[in-house]
Amino acid sequence: MKFCNQCGHAVSERIPEGDSRLRFVCDHCAVIHYQNPRVIAGTLPIHKGRVLLCRRAIEPRKGFWTLPAGFMENFETLEQAALRETLEEACARVRQPTLYTLFDIAQISQVHVFFRAELADLDFSAGEESLEVQLFEESEIPWADLAFPTVARTLKHYFADRQSGIFPVRNEELPAHRPLFEGNT
Ligand code: ZN
């Protein structure tokens, strides 16, 4: 951050009085610009044991497969964000979303959350940010071509958990990985 979004003057990085962390502080109007973690929400859409993946049409990780997911917007719930991203990226509607995996990636200040959900119908297609959208059996998952580690972890948990039919919420802390979600995808 270089300039204050309140007054347009330069900001500098310093620890405000009474604080313990470096913040961007405006040298002119003294506004403190707090920066907080970002939340990525998505779904694991399932149809008769197969899972829906999207091949990314945009960077980062263009051409790689992902579960439909993206940055949570202001004024929406986590579940709304996950369903919206599923509609935007896969033109897919899902039923009974259930919180399933939650990843803390503290080093890059991101939280990734996925809901298990049933595809409502087979009327899905590639959205603006996808090249193609496809259902995969476990044996067909393109493990080497998955876009993000949290997608791979979610799929691994799903295939393991479905053997028992019990799907506890999985909360894991992951080290920072490249590639990462960037921009506003
Ligand atoms: Zn300012």
Q: How high is the pLDDT of residue 184?
A: 41
Whether 106 and 130 map to the same domain: the answer is yes
Whether 30 and 87 map to the same domain: the answer is no
| Separation of CA 17 and ligand 1 centre (Å) | 17
Please tell me the distance from the alpha carbon of residue 161 to that of residue 62, in angstroms, as a whole number. 29
At residue 131, the 3 state secondary structure works out as strand
Mean pLDDT of each 10-residue bin along the chain, 185 residues long: 95 95 95 95 98 96 97 98 98 98 94 98 97 98 96 98 98 76 49
Whether 110 is in a domain gets the answer yes
| Separation of CA 40 and ligand 1 centre (Å) | 29
| Separation of CA 111 and ligand 1 centre (Å) | 29
| Separation of CA 39 and ligand 1 centre (Å) | 27
Q: How high is the pLDDT of residue 176?
A: 72
| Separation of CA 74 and ligand 1 centre (Å) | 23
| Separation of CA 14 and ligand 1 centre (Å) | 14
Q: How high is the pLDDT of residue 182?
A: 56
Whether 19 and 100 map to the same domain: the answer is no
Please tell me the distance from the alpha carbon of residue 174 to that of residue 38, in angstroms, as a whole number. 15
Whether 25 and 52 map to the same domain: the answer is no
Whether 146 is in a domain gets the answer yes
Q: Is 42 exposed, middle or buried (0-12, 13-18, 19+ CB in 10 A)?
A: buried
Q: Do you find a cis peptide bond into 142, omega within 30 degrees of 0?
A: no
Q: How high is the pLDDT of residue 185?
A: 39
Whether 93 and 146 map to the same domain: the answer is yes
Q: In one letter, which amino acid is 159?
A: F
Whether 124 and 49 map to the same domain: the answer is yes
| Separation of CA 35 and ligand 1 centre (Å) | 16
Q: How many domains does the chain have?
A: 2
